[in-house]
Structure 1
Amino acid sequence: MNLKPDFISKEQLVENVDNDMEQTALVYAILVCATLMASVGLNYNSTTTIIGAMLISPLMSGISGIGFGLGFSRLDMAKRGTFIFLLQFAIILGISFLFFYLTPIKEPTPEITSRTSATIWDILVALLGGTALAISKTRAKDNNVVVGVSIGTSLILPLCVTGYGLSNGDFTTAWNSVKLFLINVFLICLAVFVVVWLLKYGSFEKRNLSRYALFVLPFLLIGGFFVYSTVDTTITEYRAKQFSETELADYFVLEQEISSSPKELQLTLVGETLEDSDVEVLQEKLSAYNLADHQLTIQTYSSREDGSFDASVLADIMNKQNEGTSKFLGLD
């Protein structure tokens, strides 16, 4: 067994990345097909169709061009990758918008709702995917790691969900899904950049410092803000989950929502009705979970004296459960 790394030269690596960014009409035809497949899969909640769309999506070419271009300190390559990425972004967004605008089925499916929020785990997957992508490009042998990265980060799906949100006037869904997409793109590029320098493929000329900083700084600021907000939201949701499991152990948590402006923790419970004094006590306990700055709001669905539920109440409970809740509650 030979464990010696089979690295290629920097010149060959640059040539390979440039070749990957070669765009033809057929590439964009495949991109359109992948977008339509992803949109159909999301609309009809078909996992197999969604996987097929991820397999054929050629979305990684521009993204790898940006990451390797920054790593090589070649702004021409990074700019070319950015142009390809923005063009592909516009095509996917436009096609998915038209599809969801024309389709008679407008209700959000579980596949759609699962692409409307980013977590720490999405960040980790994107970093690992970008690292694998960069390492695979430095190998002398052909491989299909790019396909694995496309599936793992599922880049095309949140962007199609953005098209869904825009077509239905649901700007919250559109914003959350495009943020998930941009976080994945940023972290893949960042991982590629780091690997390029760790493997000593990177180089830098001081005379290009100002141009390089002008290109990179907005990229880092926007991407960094998205990552920070995602980590902060994930930690807050986890703390809220701990609060619910500990302080409301006798209740079934049907729905958990956290709003940032104003800061509020909204819980929908199934169990005995809580008095105002009980809610005040729970509000004071939020400080123990670093949630003292959040206002607690609780809605409770209670049964009759015989333990049964009114039909309308039961219908509300089932509807809320079908809509899906926070990933951390395990009720998706």
Structure 2
Amino acid sequence: MNEEPKNTPPTQSSEASDKHTQEEEKARKEGELYLRKFFSAARRFVGKRLSIIDNADPKATIEGIENDVEFKGFNLWILIFSIFICSIGLNVDSDPVIIGAMLISPLMGPIMGVGLSIGINDIELLKRSLRNWGVAVGMALAASIAYFLIAPDFGTADNLLARTQPTLLDVLIAVFGGAAGILAGSRKAKSNVVPGVAIATALMPPLCTAGYGIATGNMLYFLGAIYLFLINSIFISLTTTLVVRYLQFPLRKLADPAKERKRRRLISAILVIFILPSGYVFYSVVSKAVEEQSINTFIAEEIHVDGAVMMPPSIERLGDETVVTLSFIGEQATPELIQSWERKLEQHDLDHVVLNITQYADRDDYANGEEMQRIVTSMVETQKTMEGKDREIERLRSLLENAREAGLPAGLIDEIKINNPEISEVYAGQLQLSSARQDTICTLVIKFDENLEMTENTSQAIKTRLASWIKIRLESDTVFITEL
């Protein structure tokens, strides 16, 4: 007779396993709960720390920016002096002098005024800000041009060259600088952030460089520098507008609903006009940065010549094409290898890039080639400088010839040459100073003999002696002497 199987109870090990699983599930849920509480507390902590709306002072901020918008009297003179200081710093390539000029410049006022006016729908403030911005830019350019017309030529400094082409960093600095500026101005407890913003955004150097471009007749410098200045101004104003809207500054409203709607449409149109070129500029600058990164990646991954050293590449944009110049020292790259590089450009989305390969047998050969390129560039720059000086000489000669009608003693020039054999050429005349009063000044343009070794102290002593002699000879109080 078969016995029925008996039901065996769960083993002790399975009971332990179930208990362990339950404990794990409980621990997991508790862990998730603690994690949610932690992130919730961290979010509240960070949110409280980063909160700025409650700490803003809209009324005081608006009043402060409105006061800084106006450019007349002290503000205008401070701007002019800071432009002169910045121009000197650029001319001698001195960073501390440039920074000092940016510290005292009041140029941020109307730029932030434009952003604030758009943010609070204030048409009158917008008009006033734009008008004063125009006055500030005009006076700054005039001061810069005046300085570079009379300043000694120290050559094209690196600080001047750096202000002729905007980069992605310039755009980002303008954005973050504008945000820091309006936040510093909006807080209830004021700080000294704004001077730092003025330094970071570097509004002054591009304006001075634009003046340098006009003074020297170099329109590429002028256009590049003024473009950089406009980009900085636009992005600072745009960031100011966005921060003002985020801080919920009170909007200016009109009693007449029809006029209010019209003003809002106008502000919206201005904002769109503001944003579109800003977006285009940002896209262009970012595209350029991405392209340069792609080119550098392509060079790192694909370009290699056994037994040769590659010098730092040069990237130049010519219309729709980008020319990348690669210089090698040592073993020569074969035509087949160069062709393979050109085929691989498409794989890196660089089909618009043209490779310009230059190869040198050794470092001396490379140095000679680089030196020749520098000589050619220097000759071109020297030729441009000489042409500018020739035009200035012709202008002075023309002025002096026209001024001769005012009358000078016959034989005066011969007397000057006899008494001063170091002088080879003399142009003299009476220049009229004022059209209202017939004030004139005796003006001499002299040129020393090029065969003589003339120190600055010697030439200055001769000019001082000549000026004293002319004053006695003509019974004049004032004499102006300049040197070719």
Partner of 1:142: 190
Which of these residues, 249, 252, 263, is aligned with residue 208 of structure 1? Answer: 263
The gaps in structure 1 that reach 5 residues or longer are 323-332
Q: Aligned partners of 1:212 and 1:131: how far apart in 2?
A: 21
Partner of 1:234: 289
Partner of 1:325: none
Q: CA deviation at 1:253?
A: 3.3
Q: CA deviation at 1:202?
A: 5.0
Which of these residues, 59, 62, 67, is aligned with residue 19 of structure 1? Answer: 67
Asked if the contact 2:324/2:353 (under 8 Å) is kept, the reply is no
Partner of 2:371: 315
- RCO higher in structure (CA 8 A, sep ≥6): 1
Q: Supply the AA of the counterpart residue of 2:355.
A: L
- Compared with structure 1, are the counterparts of its residues 161 and 279 closer, same or farther at alpha carbon in structure 2 (3 Å cutoff)? farther
Matched, 1:60 2:108: yes
- Compared with structure 1, are the counterparts of its residues 82 and 291 closer, same or farther at alpha carbon in structure 2 (3 Å cutoff)? same
- Compared with structure 1, are the counterparts of its residues 279 and 111 closer, same or farther at alpha carbon in structure 2 (3 Å cutoff)? same
- Compared with structure 1, are the counterparts of its residues 49 and 192 closer, same or farther at alpha carbon in structure 2 (3 Å cutoff)? same
- Compared with structure 1, are the counterparts of its residues 291 and 311 closer, same or farther at alpha carbon in structure 2 (3 Å cutoff)? closer
TM score, norm. by length of structure 2: 0.60
Q: Aligned partners of 1:40 and 1:14: how far apart in 2?
A: 35
Q: Aligned partners of 2:100 and 2:243: how far apart in 1?
A: 29
Moved more, 272-281 or 260-269: 272-281
Q: Aligned partners of 1:172 and 1:255: how far apart in 2?
A: 23
Percent identity over paired residues: 27
Asked if the contact 2:329/2:366 (under 8 Å) is kept, the reply is no
Report the secondary structure of 2:323's partner residue: strand
Asked if the contact 2:171/2:232 (under 8 Å) is kept, the reply is yes
| Alignment RMSD (CA, Å) | 2.8
Q: Aligned partners of 2:309 and 2:130: how far apart in 1?
A: 50
How many residues are treated as equivalent by the alignment? 318
Asked if the contact 1:115/1:161 (under 8 Å) is kept, the reply is yes
Residue by residue, what CA displacement relative to the aligned partner does 1:301-329 show, whole Å, maximum 9, x if unpaired?
5134xx64376335247779x9xxxxxxx
Which of these residues, 112, 116, 140, is aligned with residue 164 of structure 2? Answer: 116
Partner of 1:265: 323
Taking the TM superposition and a 5 Å limit, the aligned residue runs for 1:174-323 are 174-203=222-251, 205-249=260-304, 251-272=309-330, 273-298=332-357, 300-304=358-362, 308-309=364-365, 312-313=368-369, 315-316=371-372
Q: CA deviation at 1:195?
A: 0.9
Asked if the contact 1:100/1:106 (under 8 Å) is kept, the reply is no
Q: Aligned partners of 1:167 and 1:24: how far apart in 2?
A: 25
Taking the TM superposition and a 5 Å limit, the aligned residue runs for 1:23-172 are 23-105=71-153, 107-172=155-220
Q: Aligned partners of 1:208 and 1:173: how far apart in 2?
A: 39
Asked if the contact 2:164/2:206 (under 8 Å) is kept, the reply is yes
Q: Aligned partners of 1:167 and 1:41: how far apart in 2?
A: 16
Asked if the contact 1:165/1:174 (under 8 Å) is kept, the reply is yes
Asked if the contact 1:71/1:202 (under 8 Å) is kept, the reply is no
TM score, norm. by length of structure 1: 0.85
The gaps in structure 2 that reach 5 residues or longer are 1-47, 253-259, 379-484
Q: Aligned partners of 2:200 and 2:224: how far apart in 1?
A: 19
Q: CA deviation at 1:264?
A: 2.4
Asked if the contact 1:183/1:227 (under 8 Å) is kept, the reply is no
Asked if the contact 1:115/1:157 (under 8 Å) is kept, the reply is yes
Q: Aligned partners of 2:359 and 2:222: how far apart in 1?
A: 31
Partner of 1:329: none
Report the secondary structure of 2:115's partner residue: helix
Q: Aligned partners of 2:366 and 2:244: how far apart in 1?
A: 62
Q: CA deviation at 1:90?
A: 1.3
Q: CA deviation at 1:116?
A: 2.1
